[in-house]
A and B are shown apart, each in its own frame.
Chain A
Amino acid sequence: GESVGLHLPTLSVQEGDNSIINCAYSNSASDYFIWYKQESGKGPQFIIDIRSNMDKRQGQRVTVLLNKTVKHLSLQIAATQPGDSAVYFCAENIGTGTASKLTFGTGTRLQVTL
């Protein structure tokens, strides 16, 4: 069935380096994608989103890249900090208009080492 998945379950990065978290999606009709960050014991927190008519979007220290040709999404975190340690989920929107529903991948754990 349709699914959203992640290439790496755990990513270890040194403080100050850049992090890249990857995600593959399979629903070519998806028109909206979101990255969430989940810290231990908390609900997922919105980081950044991108619509399918774009291929890049930047936020504060984060950039999301979308490659629709190969159905690939990535989250880049610049100058990774210890506070970035968390599980990161990509999600794709399935459904039209206001009947949207997000499908989530299994997550990538980002570990920031000092």
Chain B
Amino acid sequence: GAGVSQSPSNKVTEKGKDVELRCDPISGHTALYWYRQSLGQGLEFLIYFQGNSAPDKSGLPSDRFSAERTGGSVSTLTIQRTQQEDSAVYLCASSPHSQYGYTFGSGTRLTVV
């Protein structure tokens, strides 16, 4: 597609439920990143996929968080047993293999009640 697409744009869930957030990167971009942005804060790195290499999961805050990328394209970020502190905007970005600049999606605003 023309840009990075994320869905849903907004998600309200009850504490303890699992959620799945989807990212559809720009076609041909081999690098895909997930970041989290809490209210009034900067962007916190979560996970990075590059081609067929093992993902860099160093930013995942707990084992309740996981992500996968199927077929080198669409990625899903899963949060199990959501907690109120998981409330944030989850941003996905992609970039071409050999370049550094990211293109971000509009994010998924997650609210845990």
Binding site for B on A (CB under 8 A): 4, 32, 34, 36, 41-46, 49, 89, 91, 93, 98-107
Contacts and interface: CB of A to CB of B under 8 A. Distances in A.
Given A43-B105, A44-B43, A46-B101, 19 more contacts: A34-B100, A34-B102, A36-B104, A41-B106, A42-B107, A43-B4, A43-B106, A43-B107, A44-B91, A46-B102, A49-B101, A91-B43, A98-B97, A99-B56, A101-B45, A102-B43, A102-B100, A104-B42, A106-B41
Contacts, number: 54
B70 interface: no
A64 B53 CA distance: 33
B42 A106 contact: yes
Interface of B: 4, 31, 33, 35, 41-43, 45, 48, 50, 56, 91, 93, 97-98, 100-107
29 contacts: A34-B100, A34-B102, A36-B104, A41-B106, A42-B106, A43-B4, A43-B91, A43-B106, A44-B104, A46-B101, A46-B103, A89-B42, A91-B43, A93-B100, A98-B50, A98-B97, A98-B98, A99-B50, A100-B100, A101-B33, A101-B48, A102-B43, A102-B45, A102-B102, A103-B45, A104-B35, A105-B42, A106-B41, A107-B42
